[in-house]
């Protein structure tokens, strides 16, 4: 995980959306059984 500086803080909704997108990419790459 990169460090989050105050300048880089994203609002919670933005973080949730980014997380969802990351999970979807990870599922495509690794398969759903490997995602927690």
Q: Looking at residues 3-27, what average pLDDT do you find? A: 75
CB proximity list for 32: less than 8 A, separation 6 or greater: none
**Highest averaged pLDDT of the listed ranges 10-14, 17-21, 29-33:** 17-21
Per-residue pLDDT tens digits for 18-29: 888 888 888 888
Residue 18 neighbours by CB under 8 Å, 6+ apart = 10
Can you give the pLDDT at residue 30?
A: 82
Spatial contact of 1 and 15, defined as CB atoms under 8 Å apart: no
Average pLDDT, the chain: 74
- Mean pLDDT throughout 14-20? 82
Q: Is 35 within 8 Å of 27 (Cβ atoms)?
A: yes
Which is more confidently placed, 28 or 5?
A: 28
């Amino acid at each position: 995980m990169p460090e989050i500086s105050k300048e880089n803080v994203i609002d919670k909704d933005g973080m949730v959306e980014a997380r969802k997108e990351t999970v979807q990419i990870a599922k495509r790459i690794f398969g759903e059984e490997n995602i927690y």
